[in-house]
Homo-oligomer: A and B are copies of this chain.
């Protein structure tokens, strides 16, 4: 019956999980909203980072009583991308990120990246991680109908790896990753490196929480990888 026991595989979120970019995204959204005259407290933006950009702006606009229209949404998206890319040179991989994906590749363990971001903001960050675009399945928001907390990104990433998503481990820093993992019936592993607390991640379904990729790599035996 060995065939029924799933092998380890990993689906990684990008921002806050492999690269240290959440806080820059937060202030880039703050700047974009500011230009549009929309006053939202910064912590509320932080707590929505990682979900679909469209859902994010719709939620913020609804909560603040502003009208949602496609033109405004597009302007916000462009303003955010411009503000983020202005500071993307200062962004670095999280500790252990390169080592973790290098370890999995070397061990022959399938892994992929699934991000709510679009390729326009993800590309410079992926290049910094030395991700091999030819060998690594990368699913961005451009390729699915709904981003997180919908399960589409993780389902698509699992399909690209040729595995069943129910057998995968999703690694992410936000509650949206953990909720999307639950909706895909995958296991969720949370990282503190995006600024959520352990409690928030566990309440959203994380079955284990680590500090950052380095800490996950140190405890990789706990999440189904045999060295």
Contacts and interface: CB of A to CB of B under 8 A. Distances in A.
B43 A193 contact: yes
B42 A20 contact: yes
Given A23-B26, A27-B24, A46-B23, A41 B197 contact: no
A92 interface: yes
Contact of A34 (B31, B46, B90, B95): B90
- A contact patch SS: helix
Interface residues of A, number: 27
A43 B22 contact: yes
A192 interface: yes
B34 A20 contact: no
Contacts of A199: 197, 199-200
A113 B127 CA distance: 46
A8 interface: no
A212 interface: yes
A32 to B, nearest CB: 12
A95 B39 CA distance: 10
B94 A41 contact: yes
A211 to B, nearest CB: 9
Given A199-B199, A200-B199, A43 B194 contact: yes
Interface of A: 20, 22-24, 26-27, 30-31, 34, 39, 41-43, 46, 90, 92, 94-95, 192-197, 199-200, 212
